[in-house]
Amino acid sequence: MNRRDALTAHLEFFQELGAEGFSREPAWRFRGERLAHPASPSEPTNVDSEASSTNDETTPTTLDQIREALGDCTRCKLHQGRTTLVFGVGHPDADLMFVGEAPGRDEDRQGEPFVGRAGQLLTKIIESVGLTRDQVYIANVIKCRPPQNRNPELDEVQTCEPFLFQQLDVIRPRVVVALGAFAVRTLLRSEQSISRLRGQVFDYRGAKLVPTFHPAFLLRSPDRKRDVWEDMKKVRALLSS
């Protein structure tokens, strides 16, 4: 991408995300160079395919098989309050996969991840990488909506995460974007805060994992959208490398 296209994409992204202007301050212009990478990046973490098996006997090779194994799931208490199990959506051979936390009200009704307000923002974030929702895959750690959108509980995560791991192993994306603290913690088994983890790239199940802020957090803290833009530049670079 030439400089002009890069600048246009950069400005369009902020416009779509609701930025009200830009500053000519040199500090703003050089911000990317200063903050894009931590001064001394921590060692990439290699997370192997542990904990990836369910009690099901065979390893699935397609998303349909995983969906079928989930069935009309009653493995944890979340099935009691759900309208629809939200499996995942997108391209089965996607190079880029986004992982969120759990369905909210809109997702529970429509059966598709990230279709509410946070989802609309995620769609713009995906477009900022030069892709569409159809070209990536989107899933959550938890497939059923927790009541009143409360945080998922440990037993719910432990019951549901093997299905996400199977989705990752079948899709085999080149880059995984973990959206928010909960997804990052589940995937990397890290207790560090999302603010500390983002800005780094991790090795994960044969892919590169990029932690970033959850779109719902960005709706509350729009000043952090620039960080997400930096993370998406990294995603672009990883996809074209």
Binding site for ligand URA (CB under 6 A): 100-104, 107, 113-114, 118-119, 140, 216
How, if at all, do strands 175-179 and 137-140 pair? unpaired
**Nearest approach, Cβ of residue 131 and ligand URA (Å):** 18
CB of 107 to ligand URA, least distance (A): 4
For residues 86 and 235, which CB has a smaller minimum distance to ligand URA in the complex?
Answer: 86
Residue nearest to ligand URA (CB): 100
CB 125, min distance to ligand URA, A:
13
- Residue 102 or 232: the one with the smaller Cβ distance to ligand URA is 102
What Å distances lie between residue 96 and 112, 116, 129, 201, 213, CA to CA? 18, 21, 10, 14, 16
In the block, residue with structure tokens 């397609």: 62
Rounded (10°) angle between helices 63-70 and 154-171: 160
Rank residues 114 and 163 by Cβ distance to ligand URA and give the closer one.
114
Report residue 232 as tokens. 């998406």
CB of 99 to ligand URA, least distance (A): 9
What interhelical angle do 117-128 and 225-240 show, nearest 10? 50
Nearer Cβ to ligand URA (66/164) = 164
Closest separation in Å from C-beta 52 to ligand URA? 21
DSSP label at residue 208: E
Nearer to ligand URA, 140 or 200 (CB): 140
Q: Which is nearer to ligand URA, 9 or 17 (CB)?
A: 17
Task: Give the separation between CA 51 and CA 71, rounded to whole angstroms.
Answer: 20
CA distance 171 to 148: 31
Burial 166-182 (b: 16+ CB within 10 A, else e): bbbbbbebebbbbbbbb
CB atoms under 10 Å from CB of 8, counted, come to 12
User: How far apart are CB 198 and ligand URA at their closest, in Å?
Assistant: 16
